[in-house]
Amino acid sequence: MKVRDGETVKAQVEQASSRILEMMKIEGKVTDTGAVTVRCADYDSGEEVYRARHPWSVYQVPVSDMEKAMDRLRNGLPKKGWEIVKDGVDESAAKSPQIVAESKGQEYAVDVRLLDERKYGDDPSLIEVTVQSACYRAN
């Protein structure tokens, strides 16, 4: 496992998020809390093992535009060095469209879901995106 600087990893995850938003080519409001560092749940050996995680959403956009943005990701991610490992629906009752991809070197993963208000009731439609790094040891 690589030893990495946490601030650098967070910045790289945010850059990956920006590139994904660019690929989506969607106009709307974007939440952005910035990347955070979290402990890797996969490692329970007492080691200081972390990952950077950056959740964000795009909203106030017609669902038809969100569907087109998902299609642009299906086409664009592989061209930008990502391998799509899941393209289908999530396990929610609404069976929301979901794309999961990993960077070719597997340094990063992205999970993208289209949450349609027609299936969720009162919540507004949005595309929910989470980009995260592979686990690393802090230096």
Q: Report the CATH number that the domain containing residue 23 is assigned in CATH.
A: 3.30.2030.30
Q: Which helix (H) or strand (E) holds 19?
A: helix 6-24
Burial classification of residue 123, based on how many CB atoms lie within 10 Å of its CB (0-12 exposed, 13-18 middle, 19 or more buried)? exposed
Rounded mean pLDDT, 4-11:
92
Q: Which domain holds residue 118?
A: 3-138
Q: How many domains does the chain have?
A: 1
78-136 pLDDT tens trace:
999 999 999 999 998 889 999 999 998 879 999 999 998 877 666 789 999 999 999 99
pTM of this prediction?
0.91
Which secondary-structure segment (H or E) carries 17?
A: helix 6-24
Secondary structure string (H, E, C) spanning 46-97: CCCEEEEEEEEEEECCCHHHHHHHHHHHHHHHHHCCEEEEEEEECCCCCCCE
pLDDT at 32 exceeding the cut of 70? yes
pLDDT of residue 44: 59
